[in-house]
Structures are given as structure tokens and as C-alpha cells.
Structure 1
Amino acid sequence: MARIAKARAMRKAMSPPEARLWLSLRRLREQGFHFRRQHPLLGYYLDFVCLSRALVVEVDGGSHEGRAAWDRQRDAALARYGLKTLRISATSVRDNLPDVMEFILRELEAAVPTRPLRGPPPRDGEGD
């Protein structure tokens, strides 16, 4: 339960670029792309993740300086889990949000949808 409490606290303390990007990512729900923010997974907290497209969006600001090796390790762990990570600089979100959203949307559309975790199982003979 501590992970959930930490994720909730992180959602309330998003950086201005994260908050700005979140408002735009939420609008993608109309197109069928649902994002979660500060989602705990594999011991990490993902800035934003669209599980149905296995796409993680990370906003890299000043706190990521000097952490390139750690970020590579984290991205590799997420890749082994089947997730693709997009790293976007906080300045790009601040100065060029329309292009950032266009890039994210292209990646979402190119990604193969994952099988939903909920819903009925395939009928006999389907999915083989």
C-alpha cells in the first residue's frame, strides 16, 4: 500500500512540464489512448504509461542530469517487460508541446495494441 500512497503523492507534486503534458495526454482518451500517471511498475514510478500500447512517456528535467546510466538501466528493465520508453525533455514540453504531442501520437498509432487485461476470454478456436 505504501507504493500507492507514494504514487498519489507524486501525482500531486508533478513538475510544471509534467502537469502540462498530462493535460494533453488526457485528451488522447477520446482517440482510445488511456494514460496513467506516476504508475508504479517493477519498482519504478512511470511518469505516464499507456498500457494498451505498451508505451511509457518520461519527462526528463533537471533531476535526470547525471543519471543517464540509471535511466538506461531502467529503460532496459521496462523493455524486457515489453514497454517502449519515450524520453522527452522538460524544455521540449514547455517550448514545443504541439510537436511533442504529434510525436507521441505517431508512436501510439504505430504500436501494436496489447490484449486487454479485462473482458471475456477468446471463444473456442479464436486466438490459436
Structure 2
Amino acid sequence: MWGVGLVDRIDRKRGPLPQPLPPAGGAPVSLCGDDCFPPIAHPLPQAGGDRGEGPRPFRENRTTRKARELRLNPTDAERRLWRALSRRQVAGVRFNRQVPVGPYIADFAARSEKLIVEVDGGQHDAQATYDEARTRHLEAQGWRVIRFWNNDVLGNLEGVVAAIERALAEKPSPRSPPACGRGSA
């Protein structure tokens, strides 16, 4: 008797039992009678998914969208340096490319080491003040920033990778505690 009640509750949660095949030439046979519950709708989308259909479940900000666009269209120097940095090939450190960091997008970032590697083309010569302000902002957030010109990456990739390895080996010293506060005289 206990088993029948348990089965009855489980079946009511799931909906009606699957129907048997109709007899040859006859009408379908119902096993549950008139008091069957309708089937429960599945919460997942039907075949085809929701790719491109309707609103996305999360909001993309402009920086994320721009970073994705930059990842899809790298410069020759970025592509070449990425081949050297990807798959933890440099000091066993994982790098990501075109990473949003606050309002900026870093060309390459090692999050665990808080190191940003920038590859600059000719346009950066004209916007040196912007790059300096950007670097100061990133350093204020705790990141170390190193920059290379495109022609350095394309002409001396080994030297660039060696400089990145040196930067990874140079761990910044931890900040000394503030002069005021507990323990100060």
C-alpha cells in the first residue's frame, strides 16, 4: 500500500505515463483515465536553442563587445605574439588576449601575475599622452604594464619573449604598511 501512494505521487509530478501503442486499427488506449495531469512543459528551449533569437541572458557592455571584436581581428604582431604566449609557454603563466580591464582593453594580460603586455603600432606615437594616462590608471589598479612596438614583435620575437619572462620573474615587492595607524609612534 505504501508503494502505490509513492508511485502515485511521483507520476503526478511527472505528468501522465507514456501511452501504449494503439492496437492495430483501433483507437489509442489511456492507462490513467480522466483524472490525468497534463504534461509539464520543459524549461529549456526547443531544438535550435536561443542563438540569435531574442534578448541575451546577460548584458554586454561596450568594452566587452569591443574586446571580442579585437580578438577576432588581431594585428600581425598580436597574432605572432599570441602564438608565443598562449598555452602557458612563457614561464608557465596563462595569458589572455584583449582583456577588458576597467574602461580599457589590454592586448595581453596575465591575471595571476597582474602583468599587462601592450603591442603598439604607429598610431600610439601620436597618442603618447593617452597611453601614459592609461598606464597610470592600470598601475593604480595594481597592474604592471610593459609595452613593445609592432616592429619589435615582428623582427625580434625572441627578445620580446625574453623581456616578458624577465618581467614575470621580477615580482614587485609588497607594499610597506602605511606610516600612520596602529603601531606607529
TM-score, normalised to structure 2's length? Answer: 0.57
Query: Out of 86, 99, 102, which is 2:146 matched to?
Result: 86
Q: How many correspondences in the alignment?
A: 112
- Aligned partner of 1:105 in structure 2 is 165
TM-score, normalised to structure 1's length? Answer: 0.81
Letter in 1 for 2:163: F
- Aligned partner of 2:71 in structure 1 is 11
SS of the equivalent of 1:94 reads helix
- Aligned partner of 2:119 in structure 1 is 59
Take 1:30 and 1:99, find their aligned partners in 2: how far apart are those partners?
13
User: Unaligned regions of 5+ residues in structure 2, if any?
Assistant: 1-59, 173-185
Distance 1:90 1:70, change over 3 A: same
Give CA-to-partner distance per residue, 1:39-85, whole Å, 9 cap, x none: 01110010000011110000011221211100000000000000010
Take 1:42 and 1:16, find their aligned partners in 2: how far apart are those partners?
26
More helix by share: 1
Take 1:27 and 1:74, find their aligned partners in 2: how far apart are those partners?
28
CA deviation after TM superposition for structure 1 residue 109, in Å:
1.8
SS of the equivalent of 1:23 reads helix
Q: Percent identity?
A: 36
CA deviation after TM superposition for structure 1 residue 27, in Å:
4.2
Distance 1:42 1:103, change over 3 A: same
User: Unaligned regions of 5+ residues in structure 1, if any?
Assistant: 113-128
More strand by share: 1
Query: Out of 35, 52, 64, which is 2:95 matched to?
Result: 35
Q: CA RMSD in A?
A: 1.4
Query: More relative contact order in 1 or in 2 (CA 8 Å, sep 6+)?
Result: 1
State which structure, 1 or 2, has the greater radius of gyration over its C-alpha atoms.
Answer: 2
